[in-house]
Structure 1
Amino acid sequence: MENQPTSAVERRLAELGLELPEVAAPVAAYVPALVSGNLVHTSGQLPFIKGELPVTGKVGAGVDPAAAKELAATCAVNALAAVKSVIGDLDRITRIVKVVGFVSSDPAFTGQPGVINGASELLGSVFGEAGAHARSAVGVAVLPLDSPVEVELVAEFS
């Protein structure tokens, strides 16, 4: 691994075979993450891997729900990278407060919660009880760059 994990959270990600990426450059007029008090709010994170979307399209019509669930986990990792960019050390996170997931869905697809479980389960695996969070999983007509999923989160830190 070229970047050695510097925190317990990053070591746990490495145990899961994951590494924090560089924070994706915004595709419009916003910042990737913003601190307000003791909360970090991330912007919606797409499932970029090395700057590319591995899959595009609608879940339930061309994008398999299981693949979309994996993409939601990638979005969560990207959100953690955004959090790290503003607080410096992911070990400062004391709780994942809220996750909002968007699923670009075929009109007949109703499995949005199962897709966003990819993000929720990853956060639980990394943070344990502190990863339990409130959540919304929303089906939408289309997402930026024709991404199948987008995830944002709110994390509390000390």
Structure 2
Amino acid sequence: MAAIEARLAELGIDLPDVVPPVAAYTPAVIDAGRVYTSGQLPMVSGALPATGKVGDGHGLVPADDAKEYARICALNALAAVKSVIGSLDRVTRVVKVVGFVASDPSFTGQPGVINGASEVLGEIFGDAGVHARSAVGVSVLPLDAPVELELIVAYE
């Protein structure tokens, strides 16, 4: 068993299938030793687990739930990476994470939400999972998703 697959099994993580595009794009492309993923939503079995804005009030997606959705986005992004390079063992570094959080105007906890992605990447890749990152609050995301994530990874 490959090292990353073994690590995923040890963590109890099943890498999902690649989420099919919802518009005119491809889930991931390769250029100059890097894989760039398209924005990945927290799709589970073809559906979003929640929709709407993240925040602390009634009718909003709680930040703790959104953090879990960011983790799902990261796993979906890794599935896209694997689809173009064949094995996650080829990843030498997670270079950059860009996270978008559909935010209630009063919500300022975007970094904590995107920690869901950063933490799982660290668990999977160790030091190679430490990355540069942006966590951006936006007014709305595709399909009314609460979170969206892009990855850039280096591979050999």
TM-score, reference length from structure 1: 0.94
Runs of 4+ in structure 1 off by over 6 angstroms are: none
Tell me what 1:106 maps to: 104
Letter in 2 for 1:128: G
The amino acid across from 2:129 in the alignment is: G
Aligned to 1:33: 28
- Worse-matched range after superposition: 12-21 or 129-138: 12-21
The 5-angstrom pairing of residues 64-143 of structure 1 reads 64-143=62-141
Please give the alpha-carbon distance, in whole angstroms, between the structure 2 residues aligned to 1:55 and 1:11.
Answer: 30
CA drift at 1:14: 2.2
Write the deviation string for residues 55-74 of structure 1: whole angstroms up to 9, x where unpaired.
11110041000010011000
Gaps of 5+ in 2: none
Q: Which residue is 1:43 aligned to? A: 38
1:85-142 per-position Cα deviation (integer Å, ceiling 9, x unaligned): 0000100000000000000000000000000000000000100000000000000000
Which residue matches 1:3? none
Residue pair 1:97, 1:155 contacting (<8 A) in 2 also: yes
Please name the residue that 2:9 is paired with: 14
Could you say what the CA RMSD is over the residues aligned between the two structures, in angstroms? Answer: 0.9
Aligned length: 153
SS at match of 1:63: coil
Partner of 2:146: 148
SS at match of 1:91: helix
Amino acid of the residue matched to residue 39 of structure 1? R
1:102–1:137 CA contact under 8 A, matched in 2? yes
- Preserved contact between residue 93 and residue 155 of structure 1 (Cα < 8 Å): yes
Hey, what's the Cα distance between the residues in 2 that align with 1:56 and 1:7? 36
How much identity, in percent, do the aligned residues show?
67
Give, in angstroms, the shift of residue 7 of structure 1.
Answer: 2.8
